[in-house]
Amino acid sequence: MQFQLEKRPAPSRTMRIVTPFAAVALTMVLGAIVFTLLGYDGLAAVREIFFTPLTNSYKWQDLAVKATPLVIIAVGLSVSYRANVWNIGAEGQYIVGAIAGTGVGLLTHTMTGPWIFPLMLLAGIAGGAAYAAIPAFLRTQFKVNEILTTLMLTYVSVQLLNYLVFGPWKSPTSMGQPQTVLFSADQSQPYIIPGTIVQVGTPIAIVVALLVWFVMSRSVFGFQVRAVGASPAAARYGGFSANRTVWLALLVSGGLAGLAGILEATGPFGRLVPQFPTNYGFTAIIVAFLGRLHPLGVLIAGTALAITFVGGEVAQTTIQLPFAAVGIFQAMMLFLLLAGDIFVRYRFKRSVPEATRAAA
């Protein structure tokens, strides 16, 4: 008796939902084995990384803080990837969004008023979108592949950030430290739950996910994105412009990455520093896939990845596991998810060896 893969008549919806969970579960099993083989306490590593952040209620607010930028960026990326537009430079758009918002912050530093913070958010969105507009322009005008341009621009944005914080934007009171001035109260994210570190960014992330869910599932815009992504020729036949879709996909994903950037700058960081880029833009790629490019799935996946970040910090102090281990766990999740995708389109079939084969 042997097993054979057989194509399903239609992709399985159940499998689409089940496989991400299975991938996470299998990551824990494999991770425990791999890290044991590497000479660490594998079981403890899995426990600290995946469970301690959930069982320890002090860590819940950390989860919300980490999940917020991941969800906002990944929701944008899920729109982009649905359209088959491979924006992998969200990290750069996140940085430029933070820079643009900070620019407004520096201009309004001496002013007061409730309008300042929203204006900074808008500037952040605009900055991220404008930075993503470069690959959109190059793709639609010159057919330059957006994978490479978005990524190259990420490296450029890091240099831009360094130039600003080491140079013109360096705070006069920083005593030589490369950093901008601390944002004022009117420029910072308000706290929403007293006594915690949860700020307004978290509800914003949830609203963004719900809003994008509605738009993608109900509107002609969402239909257009899905159609162009699934079949460019059919979408063109249906009257949707591929170029316009590329623009929309990059502007939405860039804008949301920019929003996450300025929220992060006005929240946990409070100012711009050279250490501002923390790879949320790259981790959000995993979040988008693990969330099945679905805004609600992204909410769950964003939380799951936030757990590994928080857990990674826990494991660093409790069992001296290097933080880099988190990256390996995250990559394993994505590998296993992609491997599991085969079950969405195929299923196992039991097959009995036939007389012909046996005789061969």
Partner 1 sequence: MTLDLIIPIIITLVGASTPILLAGLGELVAEKSGVLNLGVEGMMLIGAVITVAVVLLTGNHWLAIICAAGASAAAALIFGFLTLSLSANQVATGLALTIFGTGFSALFGQPYTGKAVPLFRSPFPPELAADPVWRVVFGYSPLVYFSLIMVVAVWWFLQRTRAGLILRAVGENDLSAHSIGYSVIGVRYLAVAFGGAMAGIAGSCFPLILTPQWVERLTTGRGWIALALVVFAAWRPFRLLAGAYLFGLVMTLEVYAKAAGGGFRVLPSELWAALPYLATILVLVLISMRRGGSSSAPACLGKPFLPTG
Partner 2 sequence: METSLIPRLELVGITKRFPGVLANDNVGFSVKPGEIHALLGENGAGKSTLVKMIYGIMQPDAGEIRWNGQRVVVHNPKAARKLGVGMVFQHFSLFEAMTVLENIALGLDSKVPARDLEAKVREVLKQYGLQLDPHRTVSTLSVGERQRIEIVRALLLNPSLLIMDEPTSVLTPQEVDQLFVVLRQLAREGCSILYISHKLHEIKALCDTATILRGGKVVATCDPKVETSRSMAEKMIGAGLKDVKKAPGRSFGGDKFVVEGLTVPRTEAFGTGLDTISFTVRAGEIFGIAGVAGNGQSELLLALDGEVQVRPDAIRIEGEAAGELSPNARRRLGLCAVPEERNGHAAIGDFTLADNSVLTARNRLGMVTAGLIRSGAAKTYTGKVIADFAVKALGPGATAGSLSGGNLQKFIMGREILQKPSVLVVSQPTWGVDAGAAAAIHQSIVELAQTGTAVVIISQDLDELLALCDTLAVINGGRLSAPMRVGEVSIEEIGLLMGGIHGTAAETHIVPGERDAIPA
Provide the β-strand partners of residue 2. Answer: 351
Measured in residues, the chain has a length of 360
Residue with Cβ nearer partner 1 (37 or 185): 37
Whether residue 231 contacts residue 238, with contact meaning beta carbons closer than 8 Å, is answered with no
Single out the residue of 1, 2, 3, 10 in contact with partner 2 (rule: CB under 8 A): 10
Residue with Cβ nearer partner 1 (60 or 346): 346
356 binds, among partner 1, partner 2, none (CB under 5 to 8 A by kind): partner 2
Binding footprint of partner 1 on the chain (CB under 8 A)? 38, 86, 88, 138, 142-145, 147-149, 151-153, 155-156, 159-160, 162-163, 166-167, 282, 285-286, 289, 322, 324-332, 334-335, 338-339, 341-342
Whether residue 120 contacts residue 104, with contact meaning beta carbons closer than 8 Å, is answered with yes
Residue with Cβ nearer partner 1 (115 or 323): 323
- CB 26 to partner 1: min, Å: 14
- CB 156 to partner 1: min, Å: 4
Whether residue 63 contacts residue 202, with contact meaning beta carbons closer than 8 Å, is answered with no
- CB 142 to partner 2: min, Å: 16
Single out the residue of 21, 60, 223, 335 in contact with partner 2 (rule: CB under 8 A): 223
Whether residue 151 contacts residue 88, with contact meaning beta carbons closer than 8 Å, is answered with yes
Interface with partner 2, residue 348, by CB under 8 A: no
Single out the residue of 29, 33, 192, 234 in contact with partner 2 (rule: CB under 8 A): 234
Count of C-beta atoms within a 10 Å radius of residue 57 = 8
Whether residue 249 contacts residue 79, with contact meaning beta carbons closer than 8 Å, is answered with yes
Rounded CA separation 266/94 (Å): 13
Provide the β-strand partners of residue 347. Answer: 6
Residue type, 74: A
- CB 252 to partner 2: min, Å: 15
Q: What is the DSSP string of 24-72?
A: HHHHHHHHHHHHHHTTS-HHHHHIIIIIHHHH-GGGHHHHHHHHHHHHH
Residue with Cβ nearer partner 1 (153 or 307): 153
Q: Which residue ranges make up the site for partner 2 (CB under 8 A)?
A: 6-7, 9-11, 218-221, 223, 226-227, 230-231, 233-239, 241, 354-357, 359-360
